[in-house]
């Protein structure tokens, strides 16, 4: 099949508060129509600038391209990377490529009448464990979640005491067995991390996430040798090349690429293969979204899918038919492609 039309959109997030781009991660939608009548959907990052890259630059490279095999998708990925290289290699251009790449995988699944996870390879997990990221632990427990990650922003020296108190409360709510993780979103540094590692030992924290910015890989590799808690990161890192750097410096115990940002499934599969060679754990960033779930299902990354709990209005849900968590477990559906449909009114 050939690409007939392609258009990227920044959805009308009606409840998007001013300046709070994180509330929807500046996510974009990519829609491709093919000459055999199929419609594919992809999800990328980078907001309006990324939409512009696709609609003004990538479009002219993509119209008329064949997509019949995984190799075709790889060839397209390479061309988009090369042609955007002067302004790309990281950031917006790779977030835009991610959206296109996922759209192509969706189409390949639909053409073959198979879920994407079957295209990736043999199924490795019958069912996937989900964990909830957010502050409302009591309500996530009622929803059936068993594992949790809390955000923590470093403010001042009182932050040590307040986090100890919070961990005490959460451990008493979830018991000794549930996983508990802490995401500092780049607000800690090595000194804070060293102290937190000592202070929080009794709470059995599975990992500290995003200790500092991804530019501090050497600092992280030194820190790794000095603490017991695992260090996770990588949501802001893109393409295999960046993860090769991370692996050379041994900066992280757990890699967390985001499939809608790091270069799509095509990049994600390579990153996971490298991690396997390096015997490093991969826990996908926002892996509980459908794009990550398919990859978790058929790859050797950890059986743990992140569900970010965002207060979405019901009419603001971008995707229909998304997999739901039951008793802390989740699975992608068996529909062709990624198995979700777009709420088209959000891109009109």
Residues in touch with Mg ion (CB under 5 A):
183, 209
Q: How far is the CB of 235 from Mg ion (least distance, A)?
A: 5
Nearer to Mg ion among residue 38 and residue 150 (C-beta): 150
Q: How far is the CB of 220 from Mg ion (least distance, A)?
A: 15
Nearer to Mg ion among residue 51 and residue 137 (C-beta): 137
Residue 77 CA to residue 44 CA, distance in Å, equals 14
Nearer to Mg ion among residue 183 and residue 289 (C-beta): 183
- Judged by DSSP in three states, 43 sits in strand
Q: How far is the CB of 276 from Mg ion (least distance, A)?
A: 22
Burial of 69 from C-beta contacts in 10 A (0-12 / 13-18 / 19+) = exposed
Strand-pair category, 319-320 with 341-342: antiparallel
Q: State which residue has the least CB distance to Mg ion.
A: 183
Nearer to Mg ion among residue 183 and residue 281 (C-beta): 183
Nearer to Mg ion among residue 101 and residue 237 (C-beta): 237
Give the residue among 60, 10, 61, 1 at the shortest CA–CA distance from 31. Answer: 10
Cβ-based neighbour number of residue 307 at 10 Å: 22
Q: How far is the CB of 270 from Mg ion (least distance, A)?
A: 21
Token match 């955007």: residue?
84
Residue 75 CA to residue 89 CA, distance in Å, equals 16
List of residues 6+ apart from 332 with CB closer than 8 A: 115, 116, 117, 290, 293, 294, 297, 323, 338, 339
Q: How far is the CB of 182 from Mg ion (least distance, A)?
A: 10
Q: How far is the CB of 183 from Mg ion (least distance, A)?
A: 4
Give the residue among 86, 84, 112, 115 at the shortest CA–CA distance from 98. Answer: 84
Give the residue among 2, 4, 87 at the shortest CA–CA distance from 50. Answer: 87
Nearer to Mg ion among residue 234 and residue 339 (C-beta): 234
């Amino acid at each position: 099949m050939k690409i007939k039309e392609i258009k990227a959109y920044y959805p009308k997030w009606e409840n998007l508060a001013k300046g709070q781009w994180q509330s929807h991660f500046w996510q974009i939608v990519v829609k491709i129509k093919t000459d055999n009548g199929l419609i594919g959907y992809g999800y990328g990052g980078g907001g309006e600038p990324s939409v512009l890259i696709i609609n003004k630059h990538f479009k002219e490279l993509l119209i008329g391209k064949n997509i019949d095999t995984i190799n075709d998708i790889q060839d397209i990925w390479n061309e988009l990377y090369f042609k955007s290289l002067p302004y790309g290699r990281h950031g917006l251009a790779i977030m835009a490529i991610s959206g296109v790449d996922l759209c192509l995988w969706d189409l390949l699944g639909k053409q073959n009448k198979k879920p994407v996870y079957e295209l990736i390879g043999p199924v490795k997990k019958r069912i996937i464990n989900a964990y909830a990221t957010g502050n409302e632990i009591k309500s996530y427990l009622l929803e059936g979640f068993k594992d949790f990650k809390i955000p923590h922003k470093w403010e001042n020296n009182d932050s040590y005491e307040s986090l100890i108190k919070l961990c005490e409360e959460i451990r008493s709510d979830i018991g000794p067995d549930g996983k508990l993780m802490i995401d500092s979103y780049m607000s800690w540094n090595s000194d804070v991390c060293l102290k937190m590692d000592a202070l929080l030992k009794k709470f059995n924290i599975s990992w500290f996430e995003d200790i500092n910015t991804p530019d501090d890989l050497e600092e992280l590799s030194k820190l790794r040798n000095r603490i017991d808690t695992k260090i996770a990161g990588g949501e802001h890192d893109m393409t295999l090349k960046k993860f090769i750097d991370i692996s050379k410096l041994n900066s992280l115990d757990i890699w967390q690429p985001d499939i809608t940002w790091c270069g799509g499934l095509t990049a994600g599969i390579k990153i996971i293969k490298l991690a396997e060679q390096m015997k490093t754990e991969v826990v996908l960033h926002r892996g509980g979204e459908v794009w990550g779930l398919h990859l978790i299902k058929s790859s050797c990354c950890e059986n743990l899918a992140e569900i970010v709990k965002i207060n979405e209005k019901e009419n603001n849900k971008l995707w229909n038919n998304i997999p739901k968590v039951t008793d802390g477990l989740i699975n992608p559906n068996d529909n062709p492609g990624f198995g979700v449909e777009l709420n088209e009114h959000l891109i009109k």
